[in-house]
């Protein structure tokens, strides 16, 4: 795997002190964690383990020097505000927020408690921060993708399917910055000779209708941006893409491991580990308004040769050469 520097820290950041002595329970610092997924979600477990590992390396050991309150919405967007209120009522010093709608729910409830976000694609457009360099409020964190990511996803689809004429952007607007991805994909599509089809979905029937409609038009492909609803129904998406022989590109590598065609994205475990640095800085007195939002610079390409063969597609050598992982 090609290893490159993972983050640009706008304004600079250094390693912070690791030492923190053990404390009594009533002296422990308090952190809140709000996740959009379920508590037993395998991906959430691995990623939160990354966060805890990062915190422990900085001296914040759960149950010893820090107390962490967790809340999991289980994919139910109606629970975001309810759980945000619960966490804020506990008066944590900092809250770790996973995803755009989770961060939005927390921001609606507090402008005083510091919030460190991950899996947020458009923090400026979402109203979380004033700028990447100087967030200006009570939120900061790690941006999920650089603005040109949609164009790179489309280029991958065109590379593996040169006759591609139209691509459906499939996601639930409640779970991601849908307009942000749609805007960027549309801007990049014309130079590739691709028509972008807006396909917002919020139930299983919508997914089925959108994919079947795309398949009937011919020369189509699927673009799946990072979003919890699609994640929850990834087996359905993978199955329908296979049934209708549609090339699809995903934001997450684990979907490719489960049978998706290809992905281009960041390593979320590393993101969660890195986010511990800002939790640490806030616990030590830093203000989120002055902590620049971090921008990822390392991305991974993963391709599934078995899926390509089943779809009747030849994996281009250019993609294979760039791939960080090839699943056979």
Structure tokens given for 52: 């805890």
What is the DSSP-derived secondary structure letter of residue 294? B
Tens of pLDDT, residue by residue over 46-59, are 999 999 999 999 99
Structure tokens given for 197: 């089809």
Structure tokens given for 216: 């009937």
Tens of pLDDT, residue by residue over 269-284, are 999 999 999 999 999 9
Cα distances from 322 to residues 255, 257, 263, in angstroms, run 19, 17, 12
**Among 3-12, 100-109, 224-233, 306-315, which stretch is predicted with the lowest mean pLDDT?**
3-12
Which whole number is the average pLDDT over 120-140? 95
Does pLDDT of 135 surpass 60?
Answer: yes
Is 116 within 8 Å of 141 (Cβ atoms)? Answer: yes
Give residue 198's pLDDT band: very low, low, confident or very high (50, 70, 90). Answer: very high
Which residues of the chain does CATH 3.40.50.2300 include? 7-144+267-296, 149-265+300-327
Say if domain 149-265+300-327 classifies as CATH 3.40.50.2300: yes
CB atoms < 10 A from the CB of 310, how many? 13
Per-residue confidence (pLDDT) for residue 49, from 0 to 100: 97
Does pLDDT of 23 surpass 60?
Answer: no
Per-residue confidence (pLDDT) for residue 13, from 0 to 100: 38
Residues ≥6 apart with Cβ < 8 Å to 181: 121, 150, 169, 171, 223, 225
Question: pTM here?
Answer: 0.83
Tens of pLDDT, residue by residue over 242-300, are 999 999 999 999 999 999 999 999 999 999 999 999 999 999 999 999 999 998 878 99
Per-residue confidence (pLDDT) for residue 217, from 0 to 100: 96
Does pLDDT of 113 surpass 50?
Answer: yes
Give residue 26's pLDDT band: very low, low, confident or very high (50, 70, 90). Answer: low
3-state SS assignment for residue 114: strand
* CATH number for the segment(s) 7-144+267-296: 3.40.50.2300
Per-residue confidence (pLDDT) for residue 5, from 0 to 100: 40
Is 249 within 8 Å of 264 (Cβ atoms)? Answer: yes
């Amino acid at each position: 795997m090609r290893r490159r520097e993972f983050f640009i820290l706008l304004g600079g950041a250094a390693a912070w002190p690791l030492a923190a002595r053990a404390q009594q329970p009533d002296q422990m610092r308090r952190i809140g964690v709000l996740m959009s997924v379920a508590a037993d979600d395998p991906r959430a477990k691995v990623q939160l383990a990354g966060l805890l590992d990062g915190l422990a390396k900085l001296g914040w050991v759960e149950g010893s020097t820090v107390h962490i309150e967790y809340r999991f919405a289980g994919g139910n967007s109606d629970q975001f505000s309810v759980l945000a209120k619960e966490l804020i009522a506990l008066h944590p010093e900092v809250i770790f927020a996973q995803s755009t709608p989770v961060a939005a729910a927390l921001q609606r409830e507090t402008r005083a408690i510091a919030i460190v976000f991950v899996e947020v694609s458009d923090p400026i457009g979402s109203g979380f921060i004033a700028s990447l360099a100087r967030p200006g409020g009570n939120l900061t964190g790690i941006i999920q993708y650089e603005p040109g990511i949609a164009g790179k996803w489309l280029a991958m689809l065109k590379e593996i399917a040169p006759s591609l004429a139209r691509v459906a952007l499939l996601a639930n607007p409640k779970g991601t910055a849908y307009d942000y991805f749609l805007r960027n994909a549309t801007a990049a599509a014309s130079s590739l000779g691709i028509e972008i089809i807006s396909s917002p979905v919020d139930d299983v029937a919508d997914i089925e209708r959108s994919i079947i409609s795309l398949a009937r038009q011919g020369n189509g492909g699927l673009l799946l941006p990072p979003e919890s609803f699609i994640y929850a129904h990834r087996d359905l998406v993978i199955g329908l893409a296979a049934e209708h022989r549609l090339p699809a590109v995903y934001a997450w590598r684990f979907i490719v491991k489960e049978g998706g065609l290809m992905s281009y994205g960041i390593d979320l475990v590393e993101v969660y580990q890195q986010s511990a640095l800002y939790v640490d800085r806030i616990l030590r007195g830093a203000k989120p308004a002055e902590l620049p939002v971090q921008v990822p610079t390392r991305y991974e390409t993963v391709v599934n040769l078995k899926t390509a063969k089943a779809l009747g597609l030849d994996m281009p050598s250019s993609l294979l050469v760039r791939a960080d992982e090839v699943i056979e």
